[in-house]
Amino acid sequence: MRILDLAQIKQALEGADLLAAMEQGFRDYSQGLCSVPPVGELLMDRGEVHIKYGCVHGDPEYLIKIASGFAGNSQLGLPTSNGLLLVFSQQTGALQCILLDEGYLTARRTAAAGALAARYLAPAPVEKIGILGTGVQARMQLRELRAVTDCREVLVWGRNPDHAAEYCKEFQNDAYRITRVADPEEIPATCNLIVTTTAASEPLFSARHLRPGTHITAIGSDTPHKQELDCAVLARADRVVADSIEQCLLRGEIYRALEAGAIQRQDITEIGHIISGETSGRTSDDQITVFDSTGVAVQDIRIAALVLEGSAHTGSCASVLEG
């Protein structure tokens, strides 16, 4: 059994094509090639823990992931996310590898899924990118978007002005022209590619300023009580796209919009079906599209496979145990 720490995981992922891995994962999922049980969830006063697990039938391994989020940690100078992945053999059930990723792999695969959604659903051209939130995911989403759009004009909003200033400073040498805004409503009024990355429990902006042709990737709402988008936003959308319809019936923006009667189940498609060409994504530049990213275990399976492949090439491991 191998144990890989965060430094070794990052090394193993160098040069890996995360977007291709996410494409394959979503395609496999929507074609029924995966077993992905409902999310295990522990909600506490100060934080939350998610347990995601599953397999792709025919793969050599299956996976169990534990990932936590404690938003108050930022006030303590600690990371807000943590976690690990356990990789087991599908043949024997033996534990093969422990990935001590500290939440990094969850963040990377989520950001890659956001970029993938933009590849299939964003308008051409992207005139301005709007980012709501200033945390780790807000940073990773913008970095991953470089692979799918040449747009470097960005508006960013965050509740904490100091964090927003730090966000802008971090990207000042990356050719981005980033402007902070005090009112989140400015983002739908001026941006046609929007990414929401907060832990909000109430909508961040209304539908009234939403421009025709806008694509929105909603990242933050991964539990039933979170919500970043007004249900009217999904009601206006020409395409409402889920990472997993089954999962989005229980959590995320789609769950909230269905509960409010703003959309119907038949209005939803899965991104895996768009990737495979079974259904259409964006068909004109004036359509409004929404991708609801709740995070599916197959994403973890595919990024873990990249780590295992990369670590085999580098020979990296923190320890090897008899098992």
The one-letter code for the residue type at 223 is: T
Is 104 exposed, middle or buried (CB count within 10 Å of its CB: 0-12, 13-18, 19+)? Answer: buried
Residue 205 pairs with which residues in a beta bridge?
229
User: Residue-wise over 112-134: b if at least 16 C-beta within 10 A, else e?
Assistant: bbbbbbbbbbbbeebebbbbbbb
Query: Any idea which residue has 């990094």 for tokens?
Result: 104
Instruction: Provide the Cα torsion 129, 134, 136, 137; round to 10°.
Output: -40
Taking a C-beta distance cutoff of 8 angstroms, is the pair 314, 307 a contact?
no
Is beta strand 2-4 parallel, antiparallel or unpaired with respect to 95-99?
A: parallel
The one-letter code for the residue type at 108 is: R
Rounded to whole angstroms, the Cα distance separating 310 from 13 reads: 6
Query: Any idea which residue has 């929507």 for tokens?
Result: 30
What would the two tokens of residue 4 be? 């890989």
| 52 in catalytic set | no
Residue 223 exposure: Cα atoms within 13 Å on the Cβ side = 19
State in Å, rounded, how far the first CA of the chain is from the last one: 6
For 167-180, give the DSSP string: HHHHTTTTT-EEEE
Catalytic residue, candidates 65, 128, 169, 226: 65
Rounded to whole angstroms, the Cα distance separating 217 from 203 reads: 14
Active site positions, annotated: 65
